[in-house]
Structure formats: structure tokens, C-alpha cells
Structure 1
């Protein structure tokens, strides 16, 4: 039986580094998520997210339609323009709309993806998004953990192009502002869920600032656009819990876990709530459901495994380390974790095998040296 006692509430954000399953769901029954606890205030409209002032539009269009660039496919022209534009770009954690990102020359990767969409729309280029499972970035503030997420932008070639195609022709270009050699491309992210990320990010800021009316209004906008986004619902449940309405928070957690594909972050947060109110039997029941959640991000399971290991739940940690390595067989960290768990469980032989695998997969000489030293210790313990 897995047993976790998390100290922080978890929010998933979109930034420069990973993510939950963003796909919308046809959810039944309908969720009663609204409340009179909060006052609705003005938040950005969807069209404002991708708005560009005329001067910013003209800068891009002048480049795109310049005679000297007409022998370059349109999607490549967009990629080239962005490559020049982001030279000296400040990758702050702020989530900006397209116009602010272009004006401030700054923003996180979601901001740049938004800017890419704004430019692509001006010239009729088709955009798609894909989630990338890569090592996450964590931030802690108060009682919240935010986990940043990474999204690739795929720009398709224009239809009926007059550009003469040479020997090499690419039907699309992938714009990835922080590519990772070990990142795994995950599921496609539809446009509604992509837009909801913007509102989720801003809501997380307002949660940290304890402006609950603003956070609620932003999440309401996100739900209106993508009603089944589980991470929006998770953030809404966190809002209700922080504001003292635990009954409403619990109803949302149960809805996510019983009527959607589930969410590791929502389940973790729900277990926190149950243990806070000493409903330990319920906590144990729901904790066992980690293994039933479909989440293709190996780093999510690796993180949970570390938490279980820290709580001396070595068998539970071992199960989760194995789940992580099954999804991403190249992750040396998962095999190192397995070796530690096997050692604590008294299985020295399997600990050695897992450690040998960690040595083989080590990404840096420093990691290889560390694992080799641990392997020697295991050899002496046999």
C-alpha cells in the first residue's frame, strides 16, 4: 500500500521547463463548481491574449513579406524571425500576452508560444501544440508548490505554397525554446487547453497573493473555455481549500478522480486534505489509486517515488521508481532510486543490478562517478 504525506498543495503551471494531461474530457455528470464565496472581477478576454499592436504586427509582416525572404517557406520564415527576435530575450517566469511579450522582450515559454500563435495567425499558418515531459522546475511559496510545464509549438507549412521546394522540404517546423535531450514528446494539447494554461498561470499568482476573487475569476474563464481541464479543476479545488470551503474542494477532487482520467496533483492534494482532518482510512483508500492514474510523465512518478522514499515507504517507492523507468528507460535517476529502495528492503542483489543500470545510463561524469562509488559499497555489503 502506497503511503504519502505531502506538506504542500500542488499546482501545475505552463512555463519553460512540464505536464499533466491537458486534453479536455467529455465529462458527465456536470460539475457544480460555482460558488457565491467569491466576486467575479474583470480578467483578460481570450482575444486579448493574442492581441498585437499595429507596430508589432507591421514589424513581423515587413520581415515575412520582404522580397528577400520569399524563397523561404512561410513556417520557416516565422521560425527564423523568432530566432532573431529572442536573441537577448529575458526568460522570466512571468506569463505575458503576445503584445507584452513582444514589447517587454521577456516572458516564460508559454508567453513565447502565445506570441508565436499571434504571428502565425497574421499570415494564416496552422499551429499545433505538444506537451513535452522533461525534468520539471519547482517553486515553493507559502503552502503551494508550483510545477512548471513545457509545451512545444509545431508550425505547419502553408498550403499551396509557390516556393520552389528543393531536395529537402519540411512540412512543419518545431519551435522549442528550451529543448531537452532527454525530453519525451507527449500528447497533443488542443487550443482550448492551451488557452486555459494562460489563465491557470495567472490564477496561481493570485493564489499566492491571496487575491481569491481574482483567482476565481481567472479560473472561471479557463473553465468556460475548457470545462474538462483537470488541472484547472485542481487549481480551483486548491482555491476553495485555501479560502476555507473544504466541502467544495472535496467535491471537486472527487469529481476529478471519479469522472475524469485523473490527476496526480489532484489526488495528492486530496490526500493532504483527508489527512489534515484525520480521515486516515479515506486517505489510505485514495492513496492506493495512484497506480490507476494514467499519466505518461515519468518525472511525475519519479517525484512521487522520492516522496515515498523520504517517508520510509520503501515498497511504495520501489513501485513508483519502476513505473517511472518503464515510461522512460533512459532515466538513470529512476534506477538509482530502485537501487536505494531494494537496499532498504534487504535485497542487495537487485540493488546491485539497478545500480549497474544507473551507472550505464549516467548522463554526466559526476553522476557516473557517484553511482560507481555506490556500486562498490553495495559490492562490499554482499
Structure 2
């Protein structure tokens, strides 16, 4: 069984309204078993360099009419020459790093766009997008992911040219680097810069934890809690760090505080169930898992996560059943077809693998994904010819 923890791009849980007076147990934030490490400041995360600003100033037109400035900014971000923007789920970068690399996740891309808008005097706010629970796999971990975008306030009604990734709302523009999130018009919620910063730190902490850089992970999670003390997911991730380091009492405190802040933090519940198993409280663990399984039974992304887990355990027949279940729930998800293709490949069914890869390519949203699937199709087709 893999450990589930939140890779906060963004984490689904943790943005519900909670009392400002809820304070964490003091021992969670004064742990001397970890050595503090210097990490990015808030300014480091949001700032753009003079060189980057000069590039923007040369390309983006300033105007007393902020509608024209807005149009120019949008055209610059989504101009054909900038379409090298690559949406990478795991790449968490600062605004400056994103501006120069163009390879980043929705959180980093939204931070960059926010900083650019702010420089030109435009008002923007971050939004959490309440997509279904979705997991990505990395080095044996299942990482819960989510989505954010940017609401760019439009001074007044105007005929701003929109691209496929900018969506019109009442009076505002939504800048979204993953247009697939708009397929089902998911509910959104405004979140602050401080919460976005906490999400950034959680992503970096999760990456450090996977790499076994535990001092660095603790520093990031602590900074996340300092930035947004009511953000549940930071405590859930801190609990995973404690559990990995066999500090089970601390882990339980962290999970319970995460749930005190947000009782809908399913990832913290699942990790608490794992902790109950480790400490001989199997009946409590089973009760949590039964409730979670019922809640997630109709979520195709959960079936994908369990299918990937089965692949990792080399239980290919179970993986096939789970990916087929996900396809029955929603056949438009390319991840389901790709998972099924991998399972077919491992059992030697090359024709089945090819068929599912073609489905994955058909349903993929991004050119980079389509190209990846096309390369695998060509490789497998060559094997069939031989």
C-alpha cells in the first residue's frame, strides 16, 4: 500500500472556512530533531527580475485604459512564440524561474501570471478549482493533486480577444493553464497569496520528502504553516514526514489537527488509518477506510490511482480491472487508457496496449502528451511488424 500525501498543486482539502483561533499543538512546530534549512522567501517566490521586467516592458503595451493593458498581457502570455509553455504536474517553480523556463505546473504558471499582472497595475486573484480528487504517482508515492487558476479583474466590459485558455466570466477574465478543468465548470473559491505561498511550500516539501531530504521538507512544511496556519494540508503533509521518521505520536497529532481544520481532508483521514494500522488499532483504521472507499467509489481518478498502485505491485490483472472501471466511469480520461495500455503491455498483449495508447492519444489535451503517446505507439507498432 502506498502512502498518500498531498502534493499541493493545489490540494483539494484545506480551503474550507475554519475558525481563526484554531491553533496547532506547540510541539508540532518546535521539533528539534530536524535542522532548519534556508528556503525561498515570499519575495523570492513572487518577484520577477529586472531582466524579465525589461522583456515584458518591451512586449506589453501600457495604457491609461487598463482594458488595453489587459489585452496586451493576455496576448503576450499566450502568444504563439510563447506556446512552449509546458504544463508539468510536478514542476513547482518561482515566478522568475517559470518566466525563463516555461516548464511548470498550474500553481507556478498562475504565480507568474499574477506577478506579471501586478507589475502592470492589474488586479488579479487566485482561485482554487474544486476538481475531483486526483492522484499522480512518483517514486512509489501517490500524490494528491488539485488545480488553481487566476482571476484577472477587467476594469469594465470590453471586447478582449480570448484564447482557448482564457475564459470570460462576469466582468473578469480567468487565466487557466489547464483548459480541461473547464470541461465540467467546477466550483471555484478565491484564495489569498498567503495560501498560494503555503501551497508552493507544500509542493517543495513533498518533493524534498520523496528525495529523503527530511530537514528541507520540515523547513518547507513549517514555512507553509507560518504562511497560512489554517491550511489543513500542511499539517497532513507534516504528519507524513513524522510517520516516515517513525515519530508516530507527532504524526497522529498532525493528522488530527489537519482534520480539526478541515474534516473533509480525505488524504489526512487515509494517512490516519495507516497510522492506526501501524499502532494496532485495526478496527479504527477499517472504519475510516470503509467510509473513504464508499465516498470515492464513483471517482474515476481514484480507480486510476488504485490501478497505478496495482501496477507498482505487479498485480496486472487487478490493474486491468481498475483501469477498466475508470473507463466505465469516464472514458474521456487519457490516464485511464494509458494505465490500461501499460497493464496490457506487461502481460504481453501488444495489440491491446496499442489500442489503448491510441485512445490515450485521442483524449490527451496537451501536445506534449499527444507526442509522448505517439512515440510509444510508433515504438510498439514496430515491435508488431517484427
Q: Which residue of 1 aligns with 2:188?
A: 187
Deviations 1:189-243 (CA, angstroms, capped at 9, x unpaired): 4122222110011001110111111111111111011111111111000000011
Unaligned runs of 5+ in 1: 1-6, 310-320, 325-329, 335-362, 367-382
After superposition, the Cα gap between the structure-2 partners of 1:23 and 1:43, relative to the gap in structure 1 and judged at 3 Å, is farther
Larger radius of gyration: 1
After superposition, the Cα gap between the structure-2 partners of 1:21 and 1:148, relative to the gap in structure 1 and judged at 3 Å, is same
After superposition, the Cα gap between the structure-2 partners of 1:254 and 1:332, relative to the gap in structure 1 and judged at 3 Å, is same
In 2, the alpha carbon distance for the partners of 1:189 and 1:239 equals 29
After superposition, the Cα gap between the structure-2 partners of 1:121 and 1:284, relative to the gap in structure 1 and judged at 3 Å, is same
Q: Which residue of 2 aligns with 1:19?
A: 12
After superposition, the Cα gap between the structure-2 partners of 1:137 and 1:282, relative to the gap in structure 1 and judged at 3 Å, is closer
SS of 2:44's partner is helix
In 2, the alpha carbon distance for the partners of 1:167 and 1:89 equals 21
Deviations 1:250-298 (CA, angstroms, capped at 9, x unpaired): 11112223453331100011111111233112213434554999x9x95
Please show how residues 340-355 of structure 1 align to structure 2 within 5 Å: none
Please show how residues 1-382 of structure 1 align to structure 2 within 5 Å: 7-15=1-9, 19-23=12-16, 25-26=18-19, 28-32=21-25, 33-34=28-29, 35-65=31-61, 73-84=68-79, 86-92=82-88, 93-128=90-125, 129-133=127-131, 136-142=134-140, 144-158=141-155, 165=158, 171-180=171-180, 182-191=183-192, 192-287=194-289, 290=292, 331=330
TM-score normalised according to structure 2 size? 0.68
In 2, the alpha carbon distance for the partners of 1:71 and 1:101 equals 25
| Greater RCO (CA < 8 Å, at least 6 residues apart) | 1
* Deviation of 1:88 (Å): 1.6
For this pair of structures, how many residues does the alignment match?
313
SS of 2:75's partner is helix
TM-score normalised according to structure 1 size? 0.69
SS of 1:152's partner is strand
SS of 1:136's partner is strand
* Contact 1:113/1:153 (8 A) holds in 2: yes
SS of 1:145's partner is strand
After superposition, the Cα gap between the structure-2 partners of 1:76 and 1:38, relative to the gap in structure 1 and judged at 3 Å, is same
In 2, the alpha carbon distance for the partners of 1:210 and 1:220 equals 17
Q: Which residue of 2 aligns with 1:359?
A: none
Deviations 1:117-173 (CA, angstroms, capped at 9, x unpaired): 11011122222223141573511314x211332212111113xx7xx9469997211
* Deviation of 1:115 (Å): 0.3
SS of 1:236's partner is helix
In 1, the alpha carbon distance for the partners of 2:266 and 2:273 equals 11
Deviations 1:322-377 (CA, angstroms, capped at 9, x unpaired): xx9xxxxx95799xxxxxxxxxxxxxxxxxxxxxxxxxxxx9999xxxxxxxxxxx
